[in-house]
Structure 1
Amino acid sequence: MLIRVLSLFLLLMSGTAMAQQSTLSGNITDQHQEALIGVNVLIKGALKGTQTDAQGHFELDQLKAGRYTLTISYVGYKAQEITVDLGQAENHQLGAIALYEGNEILNNVVIQGERTNAFSRSKTAYVSKLPLKDMENTQVYSTVTNELLKSQVVTNFDDALKNATGVEQLWASTGRGGDGAGYYSLRGFSVQPQLVNGLPGLTNGTINPANIERIEVLKGPSATLFGNAVSSYGGLINVVTKKPYVGTGGSLSYTTGSFGLNQIVGDYNTPLGENEDIYFRLNTAHTRQQSFQDAGFQNSFFIAPSLSYKVNNRLSFSFYGEITQAEQTNPMMLFLNRSVESHASNLEELNYNRQLSFTSNDLTLENPTQNYRMEMSYKLSDAWQSQTLLSASGTSTNGYYSYLWETGGTGDNEFSRFISKQNAHTQTTDFQQNFTGDFKIGQLRNRLVVGFDYFTSTQTSNNSGYIFYGAITPDGLRNDSADFPLSQAGVDQALADQPIGHLKSRHSIMSSYVSNVINFTPRLSAMVGLRLDHFNNEGDLNNTDDRYEQTTLSPKVGVMYQPIMHKLSLFANYQNGFQNIAPQLVGDPESGPQQIVVYKPERANQFEFGVKSNFLEDRLNATVSYYNIEVSDRVMIDPENPFNKIQDGAVRSEGVEIEVNANPVKGLNLRAGFSHNESTTTQTDDPLILGQRPLEAGPKMLFNFWSSYQFSHGPVQGLGAGFGLNGASERYVKNYTTTGDFILPSYMVASASVYFQKDSYRISLKVNNLFDEEYYKGWTTITPQAPRAFLANFTYSF
């Protein structure tokens, strides 16, 4: 009897406690009373939060009586804090809360819980320099999120970019001076990642994914808003870093795996001061890994402090820095010679032993790199915002760079080793002033950005000349390392008589631009933009002959129509890009003095149309697009005179891209991408390449897929698994009409993971290249890719 009475008493007390719990709810819109989906609503000082649904509604339940401060934030909008006094058993409705558009610099709140469609982002403030939703943007872009990288236990930047539709690695990062970052093919053209948080940022060595919030790959010529300093005709790559958020927290992560991989990552965020208007975040990581070959390694350490300061409701500041110390052996690529006929046309005939590196761990390159970014944001009025930005970057190359060059001589498949001692430095500075407005003229809504940009880059090179340093065959049967020792002492002795360069060059770009998104109706909008660039090349500061100036215009037009508001968009765009070509010395030096020839800018024009969709309350979004890019006035080598260059080339690149991100049921996230590209040199006097596919275009077909499922309830709650595929069609790495072809075969690589997630920790196991596929990549080069590799990760969050 006593037990029954106690049980009844506890049940009544529990029911009373539940009855005394309260609820907070509200609806969040933009300044035009349109519902905002996925807004973060966090109780300040607690690990409790939620997101708004498709109608902009949110609800927080099971709250005790007391005073609460809600922090409300959304990418591209100014965060708000609302204080509420909540009584017992109260259902408190806040009503409508309006957020005003601003810049993506402060209060990126991280909430505990599952994000709907974790592998996509519906909005960014960088792609158009305006806080536009993807459904409103006439440009196509692919976003690789931090959640996707965590799901895949990604430890390097190359693996991260495998998730971007239509992107394929051409070269791994070499670390050499000037252009040591990795190269990737995008819509038929090569591109390097040179944009950090929307501003120029040098990445001459490794990019550590531990500090990446997301990667944005903008598709097509993007000169109108970004110029030609950081983009290619195929698009550009923007790395968005982690930034301070409202609250205190962090994580500590350790990853180990095959080939001596050891990576430790730390992340800590905290307020500074009592009023909590200043937030500081620190990310740091140390990574070391050996090559799968007989020699080679990468070793890097970086530290990334960032700070945000909200002075008042109008004025805010932010600072971001990243300092990296990296050392590596450069990947030994086999360069194919376009001037001689190859002895092999495929890997079987080449007889390549991919286990051999043809280098040593004594010959390394050091790549110290720094990137800094400061921003001031000032709200001029409810309709206008001022954004002032300053970025500075610097990177150095110190050490030994070598490569293997196809000889085409007496020995079959013979390659000569060439080596140089590098001592180079590049530094850039960029100042940018933007004014963004959201206003109406009559019934037409205008979202306008007007900007000014000044960019300058200085390069210093004190590299030695290149020397022949032995010969090899890819099978390793011939290797002159005994006569040409792969040691610093041996190389230094061989380089003792080589002249040291003393080159210093500088160029600057002064730009102004305007871009406007005009809503004729809520469903129909147009984006129009124009950029004016003045390019000033001072060339070698010791030689005034190659100095020149150029001015060019770059327009952009796009149209968007939404048959189903916020769910289905039809779009078309015209985008323009250009490249300023430095003056070239032409003429045979043995026949007399060479002459400087100045070329007009190369020009690219893209026409594109497609469909964007977002259904099931942001759980299913997809983009399908067709593009056609025509490049004119390409500068190419004169086929009748190798000492001359002529501006007569034209290239056409067209293709189809499809990307799908889905969260069909709770716990299941899917991402899939497919691209097909046809690229041809349509005009040139060079018979070697006329009608051929440019080698920078990479494979015609690419696809990527990743799925992740986590159990959300039951005895296996928190257990999850992932599986993915990456593949490419065959590619030409040499296809000259008179010297033969070399084709790398198609490949399909599978990866899988299993993990266990709890509130404060996560344990993951991952297998890359699950079936140990042997495959290669290259761009007039041949580079073997890593075999099967195992990874294990433990992450503790607090």
Structure 2
Amino acid sequence: MNTLHHLGLISTLSVCALSASAQQTGSIRGTITTADGRPAEAVTVGLKGRGQGAITNNQGQFVIERVRDGQYTVVVTAVGLKSEERAVTVSGGQSVSLDFTLTENAEQLREVVVNGARVNRFARKESIDVNKMPLSNLENPQVYATVGKELLTEQLVFSVDEATRNAPGVQKMWEATGRSGDGGSFYASRGFVVSSQLRNGVAGGVTSTIDAVNLEKLEVIKGPSATLYGSALTSYGGLLNRVTKKPYDRFGGEAAVAAGSYGFHRASVDVNTPLNAAKTLAFRLNGAYTYEDNFQNAGYTGFAKDVALAPSLQFQPTDRLTINLDAEVYRSTNVGKQLIYLYFLDKVDNFGFSRADQAPLDYRQSYQGPGLTQDSRSTNLFGQVRYRISPSFTSTTYLTSSRSYSEGNGPYFYLASDIALGKGTTPGVSSLIRADQSTQDSRRQTYQVQQLFNGDFQIGGLRNRVVLGLDFLRLDSDIEFFGGTIDTAPLNVPGYNYRTFNKSTVDATYAAQAPGRYPVTTKINTYSAFVSDVLNLTDKLSVLAAVRVDRYDNKGGILYFPVPAYKQTAVSPKFGLVYQPVKDRVSLFANYQNSFNNQNSSYLNTELQPFVTKPERANQLEGGVKLDAAGGRLSATVSYYDIRVQNVLRTLYTVTTADSATLTISAQDGTQWSRGTELSLTANPLPGLNLIGGFAYNYSKFVNTNENVNGRRPNTASSPYLANFWVSYRQPEGPLKGLGLGFGGNYASDNKILNSVSQGVFTLPSYTVLNASAFYDLPHYRFAVKVDNLTNERYWIGYTTFNAQKLRSIIGSVAYKF
């Protein structure tokens, strides 16, 4: 309570100081363009003789904050450019606008940037979303990884799934099924399952494969992050935040086509244009159409046809007010990837094998026929109003609506032993159970309203960066699952027709016997308030303190079975410490982060009495070092974390009553541990040569829980060892300037997807997947080719399931830039 009291006192003092502080400092902002009218990105703007400055963004814009009244000389510099200087006066704490036009054109600027200061092309050193305030990576006590569009373009990455392979410690576990509500891809981070449900820091889920056509960068924020993001859209392992492309004040864009293996073909476009002469209103449209067959019996039984459209409108009537309106429209017709479950009434010992590579399955065989398709739709609408109240304070209002819809079939499969199926007493598997889980007119809607007040001011000579947030989130589910077992097919029988598991057969089965139905009709409101303050005690030492109060209101409904209404309140604190022994070069950091998971309704204790559950909680302690050394050529983060989950529900035993009802007796005293280390590296050791790499080790186990899994690694924790790397060379000058090569890959150790006393251990074997690309980037054209899975590695992903992954594929692309 003392900590919360002090935090509240700091917040109160901060609010009381707003008016006076707002008058103490102003800002200098502006836009830098090249001689041909294009925005000048990555140019340094500073105050001569002072340590204050900024770097222009991809729209050529810069802001130098917290400038005291006085006369200054603004200097624009970049290695290889002649410096430009201009005098300016700041008075009355007001904002001053100052624009520059360089003598170089865009191509000349690009050349000097490649050869000069902005050599570490894949490094993104600042974020406004990770802590909901502008902070450089070195100032941030939290670990996060950023995958920018520059790397995605070089690797010919077309989806968020592919982008995550560049984030240390992230492993794809389950491909998108397209089902409304829960159909998006799932990944593992720090021993827990995460999904991509956030866009620009607020709700924006997509239940099909998420196209990367509108992706400016992907932020993978590590660890339990409920204090600023809540618990409904995050996990204990972290979250994925998609930062999207924004409109800018000139005409430009590109159109691209690509084609390759397994019937892959794609067309994409990115068009931006101002809509008025003053260039205060701009429109941008990103869109893509993609088709690909399944590599298993390609073109006969599996395919994915996806359309993504992302229009965005930006209106900036004054230098203080910016309004953004965005949309994401996804339409997908697809056949679900071949998910293999292990029969839940079986034991691994009965199989006669315990690894996916030993299973009697044909890697290239699709065990289904045509017609088992599903239609998926996701429509996200976003509104953002940002108003600069004063040079020190900004208000940002977010309005979001996220809707998903699905209808159609969802085929899946069970491996079952001959013993379990009553076909003998000798271990072995000779059959595959084929089943379906369909959705019918299934919908899920998410609404969010979030209000942020950001401040950057001084109290007693100490800098405070504060965010105060109010948040409302509503989840409204109206989902209908139905299905069941269709048939059992023999394995490895020459000439057997596996296409008999098709749309006609499934419909006939349901007509003969009504399928099982599993509705989800819950409605949940969450009301939250949070505050966070980064306080600079010195120019090298800063502390972060934050807290969230979260009121969870479950209106009840059906979650496969009736769920009574209930309410819970949770408090989530966060603390951080950053010390920079070498200013802007070396950062030592530590943090405490918290998250929670609301547990529904009541359970029975050993006295057969109901007890109301408490929120399950996760607490993380983390520390490490961040580097931005060698003149920006080397960026690295090394960290160690320890996550402890408490209040885990565990089943003690079941009892049968006199009327033959089965009652489950539970306790809420289980725990789960997850600890490990992570390393990320981005470097530019030589001109034109760029490296990225990452390594992660995670140790997870259940503690004091059901004896069936107690002391074991959770089957959702993924591979304990993960590594990624990418090496890129781009010719920086000469007649072949823009010609480049890239090579890299991913390693994952063995993954236990089944790990219990009752069933045993089943493992997905380790894998190393290598990829390569070649490209020629010219002022108006880009030619590229990539080879994924260069060595034709056979490997599987999954948790509780296993899913064979695509073999070697080759894709070529041509883009026209205008």
TM, length-normalised to structure 2: 0.84
Deviation (angstroms), 1:247: 1.6
Q: Does 2:79 match 1:73?
A: no
Instruction: Give the match's secondary structure for 1:461.
Output: strand
Aligned to 2:600: 582
Instruction: Give the match's secondary structure for 1:306.
Output: strand
Aligned to 2:165: 162
Matched-pair contact (CA < 8 Å) for 1:470–1:480: no
Aligned to 1:699: 719
Aligned to 1:511: 528
Instruction: Give the match's secondary structure for 2:507.
Output: helix
Aligned to 1:681: 702
Q: Does 2:671 match 1:650?
A: yes
Matched-pair contact (CA < 8 Å) for 2:41–2:60: no
For 1:695 and 1:365, locate their aligned partners in 2 and report how far apart those are by CA, in whole Å.
28
Matched-pair contact (CA < 8 Å) for 1:187–1:220: yes
Instruction: Give the match's secondary structure for 1:285.
Output: strand
Aligned to 1:14: none
Relative to structure 1, the CA distance from residue 381 to residue 293 in structure 2 (aligned partners, 3 Å threshold; closer, same or farther) is same
Relative to structure 1, the CA distance from residue 760 to residue 783 in structure 2 (aligned partners, 3 Å threshold; closer, same or farther) is same
Matched-pair contact (CA < 8 Å) for 2:339–2:413: yes
Deviation (angstroms), 1:478: 10
Task: Name the Cα RMSD after superposition.
Answer: 3.2
Instruction: Give the match's secondary structure for 1:561.
Output: strand
Q: Does 2:506 match 1:491?
A: yes
Instruction: Give the match's secondary structure for 1:368.
Output: strand
Deviation (angstroms), 1:238: 0.4
Gaps of at least 5 residues in structure 2 are 1-23, 50-57, 67-73, 77-81, 96-104, 656-661
Aligned to 1:3: none
For 2:90 and 2:403, locate their aligned partners in 1 and report how far apart those are by CA, in whole Å.
41
Deviation (angstroms), 1:406: 3.5
Relative to structure 1, the CA distance from residue 251 to residue 728 in structure 2 (aligned partners, 3 Å threshold; closer, same or farther) is same
Aligned to 1:278: 281
Which of 238, 242, 245 aligns to 1:239? It is 242
Aligned to 2:319: 313
For 2:726 and 2:285, locate their aligned partners in 1 and report how far apart those are by CA, in whole Å.
30
For 2:793 and 2:83, locate their aligned partners in 1 and report how far apart those are by CA, in whole Å.
59
Matched-pair contact (CA < 8 Å) for 1:118–1:145: no
Deviation (angstroms), 1:600: 1.4
For 1:234 and 1:75, locate their aligned partners in 2 and report how far apart those are by CA, in whole Å.
34
Which of 418, 434, 445 aligns to 2:463? It is 445
Deviation (angstroms), 1:96: 6.8
Deviation (angstroms), 1:421: 2.6
Q: Does 2:384 match 1:355?
A: no
Aligned to 2:589: 571
Deviation (angstroms), 1:32: 8.1
Relative to structure 1, the CA distance from residue 158 to residue 40 in structure 2 (aligned partners, 3 Å threshold; closer, same or farther) is farther
Relative to structure 1, the CA distance from residue 97 to residue 136 in structure 2 (aligned partners, 3 Å threshold; closer, same or farther) is farther
Matched-pair contact (CA < 8 Å) for 2:395–2:454: yes
Deviation (angstroms), 1:752: 1.1
Deviation (angstroms), 1:227: 0.4
Aligned to 1:790: 810
Deviation (angstroms), 1:376: 0.7
Relative to structure 1, the CA distance from residue 71 to residue 432 in structure 2 (aligned partners, 3 Å threshold; closer, same or farther) is closer
Aligned to 2:396: 387
Matched-pair contact (CA < 8 Å) for 2:533–2:545: yes
After superposition, what is the alpha-carbon deviation per residue over 1:82-135, rounded to whole angstroms, capped at 9, x for unaligned? 9x9xxxxx9852257999999xxxxxxx96624532212111111100011111
> Which letter does structure 1 place at the counterpart of 2:690?
N
Which of 781, 786, 795 aligns to 1:766? It is 786
Relative to structure 1, the CA distance from residue 536 to residue 381 in structure 2 (aligned partners, 3 Å threshold; closer, same or farther) is same
Matched-pair contact (CA < 8 Å) for 1:76–1:123: no
Relative to structure 1, the CA distance from residue 595 to residue 488 in structure 2 (aligned partners, 3 Å threshold; closer, same or farther) is farther
Deviation (angstroms), 1:422: 0.7
For 1:585 and 1:359, locate their aligned partners in 2 and report how far apart those are by CA, in whole Å.
41
For 2:648 and 2:491, locate their aligned partners in 1 and report how far apart those are by CA, in whole Å.
34
Q: Does 2:623 match 1:609?
A: yes
For 1:91 and 1:705, locate their aligned partners in 2 and report how far apart those are by CA, in whole Å.
37
Deviation (angstroms), 1:259: 0.6
Aligned to 1:27: none
Deviation (angstroms), 1:206: 1.2
Instruction: Give the match's secondary structure for 1:135.
Output: helix
Deviation (angstroms), 1:242: 1.1
For 1:743 and 1:520, locate their aligned partners in 2 and report how far apart those are by CA, in whole Å.
50
Instruction: Give the match's secondary structure for 2:410.
Output: strand
Which of 185, 193, 199 aligns to 1:182? It is 185
Matched-pair contact (CA < 8 Å) for 2:147–2:217: yes
Q: Which moved more, 1:140-149 or 1:644-653?
A: 644-653
For 2:240 and 2:191, locate their aligned partners in 1 and report how far apart those are by CA, in whole Å.
15
Deviation (angstroms), 1:467: 1.8
For 2:621 and 2:231, locate their aligned partners in 1 and report how far apart those are by CA, in whole Å.
19
Matched-pair contact (CA < 8 Å) for 1:562–1:569: yes
TM, length-normalised to structure 1: 0.86
For 1:503 and 1:91, locate their aligned partners in 2 and report how far apart those are by CA, in whole Å.
63
Matches within 5 A, 1:414-563: 414-423=431-440, 424-464=442-482, 466-472=483-489, 475=492, 481=498, 485-496=500-511, 497-498=514-515, 503-540=520-557, 546-563=564-581
Aligned to 1:105: none
Deviation (angstroms), 1:778: 1.3
Aligned to 1:663: 684
> Which letter does structure 1 place at the counterpart of 2:400?
S
State the number of aligned residues: 731
Instruction: Give the match's secondary structure for 1:664.
Output: strand
After superposition, what is the alpha-carbon deviation per residue over 1:34-77, rounded to whole angstroms, capped at 9, x for unaligned? 999xx98323862473533597789xxxxxxxxxxx97414998
After superposition, what is the alpha-carbon deviation per residue over 1:709-743, rounded to whole angstroms, capped at 9, x for unaligned? 11122332221100002111111111212322111
For 2:515 and 2:680, locate their aligned partners in 1 and report how far apart those are by CA, in whole Å.
51
Aligned to 1:42: 33
Relative to structure 1, the CA distance from residue 418 to residue 557 in structure 2 (aligned partners, 3 Å threshold; closer, same or farther) is same
Deviation (angstroms), 1:348: 4.4
Relative to structure 1, the CA distance from residue 175 to residue 378 in structure 2 (aligned partners, 3 Å threshold; closer, same or farther) is same
Matched-pair contact (CA < 8 Å) for 2:769–2:791: yes
Deviation (angstroms), 1:620: 1.1
> Which letter does structure 1 place at the counterpart of 2:568?
Q
Q: Does 2:346 match 1:340?
A: yes
For 1:582 and 1:356, locate their aligned partners in 2 and report how far apart those are by CA, in whole Å.
42
Q: Which moved more, 1:470-479 or 1:408-417?
A: 470-479
Aligned to 2:141: 138
Deviation (angstroms), 1:789: 0.6
Q: Which moved more, 1:449-458 or 1:157-166?
A: 157-166
Which of 628, 632, 643 aligns to 1:618? It is 632
Instruction: Give the match's secondary structure for 2:161.
Output: helix
Matches within 5 A, 1:623-638: 623-638=637-652
For 1:156 and 1:33, locate their aligned partners in 2 and report how far apart those are by CA, in whole Å.
41
Aligned to 1:211: 214
Deviation (angstroms), 1:491: 1.3
Instruction: Give the match's secondary structure for 1:447.
Output: strand
For 1:672 and 1:101, locate their aligned partners in 2 and report how far apart those are by CA, in whole Å.
44
For 2:90 and 2:291, locate their aligned partners in 1 and report how far apart those are by CA, in whole Å.
48
Q: Which moved more, 1:130-139 or 1:473-482?
A: 473-482
After superposition, what is the alpha-carbon deviation per residue over 1:365-386, rounded to whole angstroms, capped at 9, x for unaligned? 1111111110111111111111
> Which letter does structure 1 place at the counterpart of 2:341?
F
Relative to structure 1, the CA distance from residue 75 to residue 575 in structure 2 (aligned partners, 3 Å threshold; closer, same or farther) is farther
For 2:516 and 2:347, locate their aligned partners in 1 and report how far apart those are by CA, in whole Å.
32
Aligned to 2:130: 127
> Which letter does structure 1 place at the counterpart of 2:239?
L
Relative to structure 1, the CA distance from residue 92 to residue 452 in structure 2 (aligned partners, 3 Å threshold; closer, same or farther) is closer
Gaps of at least 5 residues in structure 1 are 1-30, 59-69, 85-89, 103-109, 588-593
Instruction: Give the match's secondary structure for 2:481.
Output: coil
> Which letter does structure 1 place at the counterpart of 2:157?
V
After superposition, what is the alpha-carbon deviation per residue over 1:731-778, rounded to whole angstroms, capped at 9, x for unaligned? 111121232211111111111111111111110111111111111111
For 2:142 and 2:562, locate their aligned partners in 1 and report how far apart those are by CA, in whole Å.
41
